[in-house]
Every structure is written in C-alpha cells, then in structure tokens.
C-alpha cells in the first residue's frame, strides 16, 4: 500500500500546482482538472452495457484486464472510454456533478501497463495512450519550453509523472522524445540532480520518492540507456538497507530515510526498486531486496504494507519475484492469493473480473473503490512479467469479460462470496505495471491506502475541495528556480 502521510503545509504545496490553471483536458467538457491526476477515492464507473457483449474468457488476467478497460470513461466525446477518473464531492451534498469529476492520469497509465501485461484490450490501450498524449503536460507539468526547445528552469517538472509516462511510451511503442509534443527524456533528465536523484522542479516543493526514482531508472533503461547516469543508478542502490538486520534489502518510500528502521519497511517500494536494479544489472542489490520480500511474505502467500495484507502489495511483489525465478513456490503462493481475491460469477456483472484490494471481516473479498488500483498491480503479478519486459505489441483488440454464461443486466449487489476464476497454471502474456511516482494515490477512505508513486495524497482532496469551494486565488508568488538540476 505504501501510503505517504504529509503535513497540511505539504498538502497545500502538493495540490496547488494541480489547481494552478484549472484547465480542462483536451476534448473534455465540464470537468475541472487537478493537473497531475489526484487519485484515491473515485467511484468506479461500473460495467457498461456495451461491455457485456464483449468476448468472454476464463483466463484470470485477461478477465481482470477486461474489467479495467470497462472502467474507462469517455474524455473526448467519441463514445469510447479513454481514461480513468476520480470523483470528489466538493459540495458535500452526496451528489457528483460534471465539475466534480477529474482525470486520473496516473491510474490511466497503470491501466495501460496492465492491459499490455494481459495482452488484451488493445483498442482501449490505444485510446488511453492517445488521451495521455493529448493531455501530457497536465500530468507531467508545464515546462514552458521555449521555441528552441530549451527547458525553462521556472517551469513545472514532476519527476515521477515524467518517468511513468516515459515508461508508457516504451510499453506502447511510442516516441518518448515526442510524446504529445513533449520530449519526456529531456525533461526527465532535467530533473536529475548532481547526485543522481530525479527531483520535482516546482515552486511548490519536491515530492519525489523512491518509486519515482525506480521508474525513472526503468524508463531510461528501456528508452535511452546511454542517458542513464551512473549517479542515478548508485543513488537508487544507496537507498537500500544494508546492515544485515531484519530490514536488510529494504528500500523505503522516502528518499534519504533510514532504510533499516522498522517503520521504513516497504514491500511496495522495494518491489519497484528490485525491477529497476535488475534492469541495470545491480545483482549485489537485487539479491538482498528479494530476500527482504521473501521474508515479508505471509504464510498464506499474500504481502502487506502498513499492516494490511492486500492485492496491491501482493501484485507488486509477484512482479518483482516472478522474472527472477528466485523462488517458484513463493511466486505461485502470491499468484494464488491474488486469484482467490478475484471476483467471480457470483458477484454482480459490473464487479466480475476485478481483484479486490483485501478481505472483509468475514474473510471474503471486498469490492470497493480501491479495486481498480489493486487490479492494475495484480494483473502483471498474475501474468508474471516485470516492468522491464511489458509490451503492448501483439495485444488483441477486444477487452474480454469473465465467462459467466449469458450476459445479465448490470445490477448492484453485496460483496462477493466466491473467489472467482482460478487457474491451474499462471497465464502467459506480456507485461508489468507501475504505481504512480507521478502523482497517483493515497489511502482510500474505506481502509488502508495504495502505493503513492508521486505527489498526490488523500489529504490533498480535502484541501482541493476547500480551495475550489472558497475560490482561493491560484496566483502564487515566485517560481522556484532549479539551480541544482540539469
């Protein structure tokens, strides 16, 4: 889960750049933008009628990916879902209007990776990638590049969002140097400090973290390996605990934190770091990190973060452990844990195929507003692919639904009681999944939160609402200059 908690002052600094312009995404109507994708407590869209006519599958990963594609909403009015959204009841009246719906770019990007991992929903993946391109600067920051392509040190550069978007370019075969007219490689490199840290360049502060650092290393290793500095590699490796104690191998979320402290232990962050360290052949750091993950696995195969065993952390750990073939038994146990939380045919049609975040008090999977974030991490874990290898090439166009017989009409229902589809062997399809280092999520109101791979935090939702309701001014003083960034 890896939720980050920050002070109210930090929340203000994190959310204000998203409210700075209140521009609408390209092609949208009636939706005010929180620019880097505030994430967390959105209501799921449900299962549209058109999806009920989709091809059916008994493959767990494909069914989960099909469910994710069905959650996309239409951002450009062409009748095709192309992005995830979050809703915020700003007025507190219990009703959501168009002006209270916001694009969630980070979750949209994560979904693209999950679809590629399952090898399905190519049309949905293309639509989502097009949407990210069309609105790229609303996610990665408006850098105000001049006519000569020179980066403006007074612009906004969100390192995690840049890294994740560059990874999406690699996954989908798009040009990272011209993604929606933005040179993602150049801008990401601009955020690198002399010691190799990829840091936000913003007047509102630096909220970069170890997940963003890992994604930056992964993205550059895939797209521009010659531009990946030795300093960036060693900076990531240097975040790892190496004292031979209980936390040995752990990589904490907060850069520069005491990695060996018990409170800094993070399955989520270490899972991202393992994949990045493996991509750059840092075997001396990979092995301790894998050992840490194996020590962190519960007896039932699941993984926890912040004390709650959940699909998000389990999916990430399965991604990290799978490609290394370190411990087949541990990987299989993690996959089976995930499959047992997948919602099956006894649940309402709009839930079928999703992976529940965790169990309820009665021990059965609970479908709630964390399902989408849990599912995007679970799919690559089920498939057994990492972020270095996921590729959308060859994905089938259609988004299948779980084969539950003739498609019934959507209807609300109680939490699931059956574990859903099972597999006698792990599905084989390309793909991995990241969690946002460019702003993505915080803890959901119904329970512990999900991994934060960027600057978005649940508390900022409250602040965002207050700012918008009160009409607070968006003009802030001077922009922070990035003298240490290159």
What is the SS3 string spanning 199-213? Answer: CCECCCCCCCCHHHH
More confident: 357 or 484: 357
**What CA–CA distance (Å, rounded) separates 455 from 373?**
16
Calculate ∠ Cα 425-430-433, nearest 5°.
100
pLDDT band, residue 434 (cuts 50/70/90): very low
Dihedrals phi, psi of 56, to nearest 5 degrees: -110, 160
Calculate ∠ Cα 46-84-467, nearest 5°.
110
Averaged over 92-119, what is the pLDDT?
95
pLDDT value at residue 454? 38
Checking if the pLDDT of 481 tops 70, the result is no
**Three-state DSSP class for residue 305:** strand
Averaged over 341-364, what is the pLDDT?
96
pLDDT value at residue 323? 64
pLDDT band, residue 18 (cuts 50/70/90): very low
**What CA–CA distance (Å, rounded) separates 310 from 304?**
6
Count how many Cα atoms sit within 13 Å of the Cα of residue 195 in the half-sphere of its side chain: 9
Averaged over 287-307, what is the pLDDT?
95
> Burial letters for 450-483: b for 16+ Cβ neighbours within 10 Å, e otherwise?
bbbbbbbbbbbbebbbebbeeeeeeeeeebbebe
Based on the number of CB atoms within 10 Å of its own CB, is 29 exposed (0-12), middle (13-18) or buried (19 or more)? exposed
**What CA–CA distance (Å, rounded) separates 434 from 50?**
28
User: CA 197: distance to chain centroid?
Assistant: 20
Q: Which residues pair with 102 in a beta bridge?
A: 86
For the chain, domains (ranges, CATH) are 8-470 (1.50.10.20)
User: CA 285: distance to chain centroid?
Assistant: 24
Count how many Cα atoms sit within 13 Å of the Cα of residue 126 in the half-sphere of its side chain: 12
User: CA 57: distance to chain centroid?
Assistant: 25
Averaged over 467-477, what is the pLDDT?
34
More confident: 329 or 10: 329
pLDDT band, residue 243 (cuts 50/70/90): very high
**Three-state DSSP class for residue 286:** helix
First to last CA, the chain: 32
**pLDDT tens digits, 224-236:** 999 999 999 999 9
Average pLDDT, the chain: 79
Q: Residue 53 CB: number of other CB atoms within 10 A?
A: 9
**What CA–CA distance (Å, rounded) separates 233 from 169?**
21
With beta carbons less than 8 A apart as the criterion, state whether 303 and 293 touch: yes
**With the C-alpha atoms ordered 353, 384, 2, 261, is the resulting torsion angle positive or negative?**
positive
pTM over 0.85: no
């Amino acid at each position: 889960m890896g939720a980050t908690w920050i002070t109210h002052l930090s929340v203000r600094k994190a959310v204000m750049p998203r409210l700075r312009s209140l521009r609408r995404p390209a092609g949208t109507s009636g939706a005010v933008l929180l620019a880097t994708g505030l994430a967390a407590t959105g209501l799921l869209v449900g299962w549209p009628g058109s999806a009920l006519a989709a091809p059916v599958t008994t493959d767990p990963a494909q069914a989960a990916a099909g469910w994710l594609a069905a959650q996309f909403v239409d951002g450009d009015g062409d009748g095709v879902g192309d992005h995830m959204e979050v809703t915020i009841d700003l007025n507190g009246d219990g009703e959501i209007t168009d002006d209270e719906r916001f694009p969630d770019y980070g979750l949209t990007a994560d979904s693209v990776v999950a679809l590629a991992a399952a090898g399905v929903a190519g049309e949905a993946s293309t639509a989502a990638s097009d949407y990210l391109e069309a609105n790229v600067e609303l996610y990665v920051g408006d850098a105000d590049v001049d006519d000569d392509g020179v980066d403006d040190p007074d612009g906004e550069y969100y390192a995690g969002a840049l890294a994740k978007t560059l990874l999406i370019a690699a996954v989908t075969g798009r040009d990272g140097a011209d993604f929606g007219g933005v040179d993602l490689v150049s801008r990401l490199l601009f955020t690198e400090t002399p010691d190799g840290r990829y840091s936000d360049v913003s007047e509102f502060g630096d909220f970069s973290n170890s997940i963003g650092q890992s994604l930056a290393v992964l993205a550059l290793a895939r797209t521009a390996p010659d531009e990946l500095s030795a300093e960036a590699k060693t900076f990531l490796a240097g975040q790892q605990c190496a004292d031979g104690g209980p936390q040995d191998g752990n990589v904490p979320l907060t850069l520069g934190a005491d990695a060996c402290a018990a409170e800094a232990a993070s399955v989520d962050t270490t899972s991202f770091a393992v994949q990045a360290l493996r991509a750059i052949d840092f075997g001396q750091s990979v092995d301790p990190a894998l050992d840490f993950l194996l020590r962190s696995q519960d007896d039932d195969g699941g993984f926890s973060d912040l004390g709650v065993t959940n699909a998000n952390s389990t999916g990430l750990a399965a991604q990290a452990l799978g490609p290394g073939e370190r411990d087949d038994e541990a990987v299989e146990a993690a996959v089976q844990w995930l499959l047992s939380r997948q919602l099956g045919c006894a649940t309402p049609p709009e839930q079928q195929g999703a992976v529940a975040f965790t169990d309820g008090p009665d021990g059965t999977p609970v479908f709630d507003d964390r399902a989408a974030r849990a599912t995007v991490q679970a799919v690559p874990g089920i498939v057994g692919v990492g972020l270095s290898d996921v590729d959308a090439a060859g994905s089938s166009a259609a988004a299948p639904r779980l084969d539950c017989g003739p498609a019934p009409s959507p209807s609300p229902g109680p939490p699931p009681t059956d574990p859903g589809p099972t597999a006698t062997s792990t599905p084989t399809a390309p793909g991995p999944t990241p969690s946002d280092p460019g702003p993505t999520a915080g803890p959901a109101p119904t329970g512990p939160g999900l991994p934060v791979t960027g600057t978005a935090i649940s508390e900022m939702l409250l602040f965002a609402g207050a700012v918008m309701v009160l009409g607070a001014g968006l003009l802030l003083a001077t922009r922070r200059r990035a003298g240490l960034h290159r």
